[in-house]
Amino acid sequence: MKTISFPRALGLAALLAASTMTAHAATVTVLDSSLSALNGAFGGGTAATTTLAGPVFGTTTTVTGASGGANRASAAYVADQWVQRNVGGNGTAGVTTDYARSGTGSAYFSGSGGAGAYKGDLEILFGTAVAASSVTGMGFDWYRDSSSGVTSADLHPVLRLMVSGVVNNVAVGGYLVYERAYNGGGAAPLDAWVTEGWDYNTGNLWSTGNLPGAFSVFNRQLDDWDSLVSNLSVVGLSIGIGSGWNGGGFEGAVDNVRFETSAGSTTWNFEVARNTVPEPGGLALVAAALLAAGLARRRIG
Ligand SMILES: [Ca+2]
pLDDT digits (tens, 9 = 90+) for 45-89: 999 999 999 999 999 999 999 888 899 999 999 999 999 999 998
pLDDT for residue 71: 93
What single DSSP character describes residue 115? T
Indicate the pTM of the whole model. 0.86
Torsion of CA 259, 264, 270, 273, to 10 degrees: -160
Query: Do the bridges between strand 82-88 and strand 119-131 make them parallel or antiparallel, or are there none, so unpaired?
Result: antiparallel
Q: Establish if 11 belongs to a structural domain.
A: yes
Q: How many Cβ atoms are within 10 Å of 202's Cβ, its own excluded?
A: 12
Q: Which domain holds residue 93?
A: 6-300
What totals of helices (H) and strands (E) does the chain contain, helices first? 3, 16
- Residue at 284 is within a domain: yes
Distance of alpha carbon 108 from alpha carbon 95, whole angstroms: 5
For residue 1, tell me if it sits in a domain: no
pLDDT for res 145? 98
Distance (angstroms) between ligand 1 centre and the Cα of 109 equals: 14
Residue 254 lies in a domain: yes
- Residue 243 is predicted with a pLDDT of 80
Does residue 101 sit within a domain? yes
Query: How many Å lie between the centroid of ligand 1 and the Cα of residue 29?
Result: 8
Q: How far is the CA of 54 from the centre of ligand 1 (A)?
A: 17
The answer to whether residue 240 is domain-embedded is yes
| Alpha carbon separation from 283 to 25, 53, 288, 289, 295 (Å, rounded) | 39, 18, 9, 10, 18
If one counts the domains in the chain, the total is 1
Question: Which whole-number Å values give the CA distances from 128 to 24, 124, 266, in the listed order?
Answer: 17, 11, 14
Centre of ligand 1 to C-alpha 255, Å, is 5
pLDDT beneath 70: ranges in the chain: 1-22, 278-301
Check residue 18 and give its pLDDT.
37
Around ion ligand 1, which residues have CB less than 5 A away?
101-103, 105-106, 255, 269-270
CB contact burial 56-77 (16+ within 10 A = b; e otherwise): ebbbbbbbbebbeeebbbbbeb
41 in any annotated domain? yes
